[in-house]
Amino acid sequence: MKPGIAEVLEIHEKGKRDSLIPILQEIQEKEGYLSEEAVVEVGKHLDIPSSRIYGVATFYNQFRFQPTGRYHIQVCRGTACHVLGSATVLEHLEKLLHIKAGQTTRDGLFSIEIVACIGACGLAPVINVGGEFHAQVDAARVAEIIDEYRKREETI
C-alpha cells in the first residue's frame, strides 16, 4: 500500500461509512488522484465493496482517477464567467496547452479542469492555477499566465 493511503486510513482508523468521502478527499489531496489501489484499499478498510466506493467517487465532480499536472488549472464556468467570455478563455487554454479539459500535458506540468463556480463572480472570468487565483482573464492574459508558470518552472 502506498504510504499516503496508509497514512489517511490510519487517521480514520475507526471510520465508518460517513468517513468515506473525507477519506477519499484526503487521499486525493495527498496523491493527487484516486488510484485503483486506493479505491480497493478504502473498500477493505471500511468493509464496503469497491464497486460501491467507485460509485460514490464517480458521482462527485471533485474526484479524479488520473494524476493531474504540477499546475492544476481550474477554469470557472459559472454564469458570470460565461457571460464575460470564459468559453473563449477555455478554448485558448486548450489550444495553448494542446490538451482538452480533463487532460494533462505530456510534460506533466499542466492539467485543465472545468469547475462550476469558484465564487469570485465579481471578477469574472476567473481561473485558479495551483491555488492561485487570476481574475478578469482573457485570451491574451491566459498566454501570459501560462508563460509565468513555465518560467517559474525553469528557474526551479
Partner 1 sequence: MISDTMTDARQLLLEKLWSQEPVLHAVPEEDLFRQLRREYLLKPVIFIGSGTCGLGAGAGKTLQAVQQYIMEKEIDADIVQVGCIGMCSAEPLLDVQLPGRNRLCFQKVTADKVNPLLDSVWNGEPVEADILGQFRGDSAGEWDSVPYLDEHPFFAHQTRVVLKNCGIIDPVSIKEYIAHGGYQSLLKVLHTCKPFEVCNKVEISGLRGRGGGGFPTGRKWKFANQTQADQKYLICNADEGDPGAFMDRAVIEGDPHRLIEGMAIAAYGIGASKGYVYIRAEYPLAIQRLRIAMTHARQYGLLGKDIAGTGFDFDIIIKMGAGAFVCGEETALMHSIEGKRGMPRPRPPFPAVSGLFGKPTVINNVETLANLPGLLEKGEEWFSSMGTATSKGTKVFALSGKISRTGLVEIPMGTKLRDIIYTIAGGVRNGKKFKAVQIGGPSGGCITEANLDIEIDYESLIRAGAMMGSGGLVVMDEDTCMVDVAKFFMDFIQRESCGKCIPCREGTRRMLEILESITSKPVNTGNQPLTRFRGIIQLEKLGKVIRETSLCGLGQTAPNPVLSTLRWFRDEYESHIYERKCPAGVCTDLRTFRIDVDKCTGCTVCSKKCPTGAIIGAKKTAHFIIEEKCIGCGSCEEACKFGAIFIRE
- Footprint on this chain of partner 1 (rule: CB under 8 A): 16-22, 24-25, 55-56, 59-63, 77-84, 115-124, 126, 131-136
Shortest CB 156 distance to partner 1, Å: 20
Give the nearer residue to partner 1 in terms of CB position, either 35 or 74.
Answer: 74
CA angle 67, 68, 73 (to 5 degrees): 165
Give the nearer residue to partner 1 in terms of CB position, either 82 or 150.
Answer: 82
| Sequence letter at residue 59 | F
Shortest CB 124 distance to partner 1, Å: 6
| Longest distance between any two alpha carbons in the chain, whole Å | 51
Residue 68: all three cell numbers together: 493531474
Give the nearer residue to partner 1 in terms of CB position, either 8 or 118.
Answer: 118
Give the nearer residue to partner 1 in terms of CB position, either 108 or 133.
Answer: 133
Residue 56: all three cell numbers together: 460514490
Shortest CB 116 distance to partner 1, Å: 6
Shortest CB 112 distance to partner 1, Å: 16
**Cα distance between residue 123 and residue 119, in whole Å:** 9
Place of cell 468515506: 20
3-state secondary structure of 80: helix
